[in-house]
Amino acid sequence: MQLVDIGANLTHESFRHDFDAVLERAWAHGVVQMIVTGASHSGSDHALELARAHPGKLFATAGVHPHHAVDYNDLTDTHLRVLANHAQVRAVGETGLDYNRNYSPREVQLQVFERQLQIAADVGKPLFLHQRDAHHDFLALLKRYRDKVPAAVVHCFTDTREALHDYLALDCHIGITGWICDERRGTHLREFVREIPADRLLIETDAPYLLPRSVRPQPSHRRNEPMYLKHICEEIARDRGESADVTAANSTAAAQAFFGL
Ligand SMILES: [Zn+2]
């Protein structure tokens, strides 16, 4: 089984002390390539640095997460444009809207999301998107830019069937995390994950967050790692009524096409 983790926050400080071991465990568990999420100005620099140190294996995104939208200024915009033009940076983002926590005011989130949509349009790269409790505003803005960008993935999709079909109608890809392995809050996803076309279904750990609850035994530190991607693939396969090998092969082909790996 060969897997691509399309959302790994490997710049997170929790990976600093054993980074090489985390990579080794991922490769040993069937992960062949990973996209390192850039979610802030300095985090995007760091993601690119990791990608450059592991050519052909790690790739980066460059963006500012809606939580950090208040930190976004003209310098950030200029800097992201430089990063986005780099060959190892395969998508603009993580960007989007998060009205669940509202760490940045909604008005600021909207402005900063739109500026990054414009960057993706200008550099002609795919979008790596985050949406939480903001479907209506997010969809409205994305619609205006969708034709200007080559592709877009709504990462860590946790929303409703209706939202899913709104994104599919916009020809978006959908990223599924270990949320689907959570029997307390992910069961709705199990009912409609089969409705995602095989060539637009991408899988991701969102490590170090969202440790799949199907990992047994649960590690005491609760840190998620790319090595657990297989558990997510297996749950999705069960829900789609197909073998995990089929889910893995299709999602890997989809990820490699989406990010040009
Ligand atoms: Zn996210």
Distance 68 CA to ligand 1 centre (A): 12
Token pair of 138, please? 């997010």
Looking at residue 134, what is its pLDDT? 97
- In the chain, helix, strand, coil percent, each to 5? 50, 15, 30
Please check whether residue 32 is in contact with residue 256, taking contact to mean a CB–CB distance below 8 angstroms. no
Backbone angles phi, psi at 207, to 5 degrees: -55, 145
Measured CA to CA, the distance from residue 104 to residue 118 in angstroms comes to 20
pTM over 0.95: yes
Distance 94 CA to ligand 1 centre (A): 7
Measured CA to CA, the distance from residue 95 to residue 134 in angstroms comes to 13
Looking at residue 100, what is its pLDDT? 92
Q: Which residues surround ligand 1, an ion (CB under 5 A)?
A: 130, 156
Number of Cβ within 10 Å of residue 175's Cβ equals: 24
Distance 246 CA to ligand 1 centre (A): 26
Distance 156 CA to ligand 1 centre (A): 6
The tens-digit pLDDT sequence of the chain (261 residues) is 999 999 999 999 999 999 999 999 999 999 999 999 999 999 999 999 999 999 999 999 999 999 999 999 999 999 999 999 999 999 999 999 999 988 899 999 999 999 999 999 999 999 999 999 999 999 999 999 999 999 999 999 999 999 999 999 999 999 999 999 998 888 899 999 999 999 999 999 999 999 999 999 898 889 999 999 999 999 999 999 999 999 999 999 999 999 999
184: alpha, beta or left? (left if phi > 0; alpha if psi -120 to 50): alpha
Distance 30 CA to ligand 1 centre (A): 23
Number of Cβ within 10 Å of residue 13's Cβ equals: 7
Looking at residue 102, what is its pLDDT? 87
Looking at residue 228, what is its pLDDT? 97
In single-letter form, the type of residue at position 78 comes to T
Please check whether residue 238 is in contact with residue 252, taking contact to mean a CB–CB distance below 8 angstroms. no
Distance 224 CA to ligand 1 centre (A): 15
Looking at residue 5, what is its pLDDT? 98
